[in-house]
């Protein structure tokens, strides 16, 4: 398709390398999100955009925003995504009690967040920038991961990555310490921070810089023992450990006394200082916190989203087949017209040679 296939509506947001508009397909009339990448004449397409496109084409899941189309011209690169109504931050501001969400909503959103992230990890992809602004929600209560600009495919052994990832408040302590050999555990940490924020309405750790962020974490988790610190350094030799002030741990149950113990237990297991001790997304999904009607409801939401996605795929295929059939009919009509014209020319030529004498 080309850019004229979509009608650009109001602006939804603008980032470092892209502007996002609401749009409408001229062909299907479907509302979409149009992400226009800012192209530099000398540098070309940003690596973040190339990374996002390559990953999004592979990641098809009900809890990951769907990439419909990619339009590349000399002057612009436009990604066409499914439209979502708002991000989790705006949802909390609009629907929460001072930002805090009801317990059943937290469970449903957390379940969907972990499902989408688990799928990424199963496909060897780290998101690396999970935060409320990158989690999108629609009117059906479906939560989907978005903005894979910082995502990276990872292999075995784990590659060495930059530690300039994840917005500061959702950044894992091992990354704050300088680790560049991290893996899926950094997304798990971010998910735990997001869960705490949905429960309370405010970010759990609100540091001003890397050092202050680490201090905020220690005030809750307490100072890790020497054995834990040595294990972290052994896994990430680039970390330069320094003496930490001795701080006592505060339990999440005391931080959030109104929370069900299952919820605070899950938080404890997601937000471990030692990355090797954090739950995987799959293990988190099997936690007793989700063994209830809330899990069934969240799973139903995911199943319904999957069914809708399949219907959209079928509609897109039908639309493609219809267009191909129309094109085929047009070509056949053209050929028939040409054949008819050729026949008429032959007949006229033959008629001109008749001898009426």
Q: Output the tens digit of pLDDT for each of the chain's 357 residues.
A: 666 889 999 999 887 778 999 999 999 999 999 999 877 766 777 777 788 788 888 889 999 999 998 888 777 788 899 999 999 999 999 987 888 999 999 999 999 999 999 999 999 999 999 999 999 999 999 999 998 877 777 764 455 666 556 689 999 999 998 888 778 999 999 999 999 999 999 999 999 999 999 999 999 999 998 888 888 888 888 887 778 889 999 999 999 999 999 999 999 999 999 999 999 999 999 999 998 655 556 666 666 677 777 777 777 676 666 666 666 776 777 777 777 676 766 666 554 433 333
Comparing CA positions, the residue from 121, 136, 2, 140 lying closest to residue 55 is: 121
Q: Which residues carry a binding-site annotation?
A: 35
Number of neighbouring beta carbons within 10 Å of residue 58: 11
pTM of the model: 0.78
Beta strand 125-126 pairing with 67-72: unpaired
Portions of the chain given CATH number 3.30.200.20: 6-82
- Assess whether 129 carries a catalytic annotation: yes
pLDDT at 14: 85
**Can you read off the two tokens belonging to residue 52?**
């996002």
pLDDT at 48: 78
Q: Does domain 86-286 have CATH number 1.10.3720.10?
A: no
pLDDT at 354: 34
User: 18 with 52: CB under 8 angstroms?
Assistant: no
Domain spanning 6-82: CATH superfamily? Phosphorylase Kinase; domain 1 (3.30.200.20)
* Residue count (the chain): 357
Catalytic residue among 40, 87, 97, 129: 129
Concatenate the DSSP letters of all residues of 19-78 into one string: EEEEEEETTT--EEEEEEE--BTTTBS-HHHHHHHHHHHH---TTB--EEEEEE-SS-EE
Comparing CA positions, the residue from 297, 308, 269 lying closest to residue 109 is: 297
User: 99 with 38: CB under 8 angstroms?
Assistant: no
Alpha-carbon dihedral sign for residues 197, 201, 204, 210: positive
pLDDT at 352: 44
Comparing CA positions, the residue from 116, 67, 113 lying closest to residue 88 is: 113
Q: Which residues carry a binding-site annotation for ATP?
A: 35
pLDDT at 40: 73
């Amino acid at each position: 398709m080309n850019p004229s296939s979509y009608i650009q509506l109001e602006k939804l947001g603008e980032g470092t390398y892209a502007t996002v508009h609401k749009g409408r397909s001229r062909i299907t009339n479907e509302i979409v999100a149009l992400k226009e990448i800012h192209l530099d004449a000398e540098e070309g397409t940003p690596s973040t955009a190339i990374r996002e496109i390559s990953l999004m084409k592979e990641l098809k899941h009900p809890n990951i925003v769907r990439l419909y189309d990619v339009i590349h011209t000399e002057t612009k690169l436009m990604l066409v995504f499914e439209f979502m109504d708002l991000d989790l931050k705006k949802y909390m501001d609009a629907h929460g009690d001072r930002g805090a969400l009801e317990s059943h909503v937290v469970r449903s959103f957390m379940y969907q967040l972990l499902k989408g992230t688990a799928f990424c990890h199963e496909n060897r992809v780290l998101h690396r920038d999970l935060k409320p602004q990158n989690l999108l929600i629609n009117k059906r209560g479906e939560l989907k991961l978005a903005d894979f600009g910082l995502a990276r495919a990872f292999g075995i052994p784990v590659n060495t990555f930059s530690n300039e990832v994840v917005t500061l408040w959702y950044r894992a302590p091992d990354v704050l310490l300088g680790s560049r050999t991290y893996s899926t555990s950094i997304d798990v940490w971010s998910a735990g921070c997001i869960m705490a924020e949905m429960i309370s309405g405010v970010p759990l750790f609100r540091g001003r810089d890397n050092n202050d962020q680490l201090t905020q974490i220690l005030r809750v988790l307490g100072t890790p023992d020497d054995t834990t610190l040595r294990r972290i350094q052994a896994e990430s030799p680039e970390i330069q450990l320094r003496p930490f002030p001795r701080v006592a741990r505060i339990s999440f149950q005391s931080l959030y006394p109104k929370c069900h113990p299952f919820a605070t237990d899950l938080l404890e297991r997601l937000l471990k200082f030692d990355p090797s001790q954090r739950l995987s997304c799959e293990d988190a999904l099997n936690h007793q916190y989700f063994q209830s009607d809330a899990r069934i409801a969240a799973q139903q939401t995911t199943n319904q989203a999957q069914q809708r996605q399949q219907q959209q795929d079928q509609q897109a295929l039908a639309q493609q087949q219809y267009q191909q059939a129309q094109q085929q009919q047009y070509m056949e009509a053209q050929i028939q017209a040409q054949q008819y014209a050729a026949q008429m020319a032959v007949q006229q030529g033959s008629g001109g040679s008749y001898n009426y004498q």
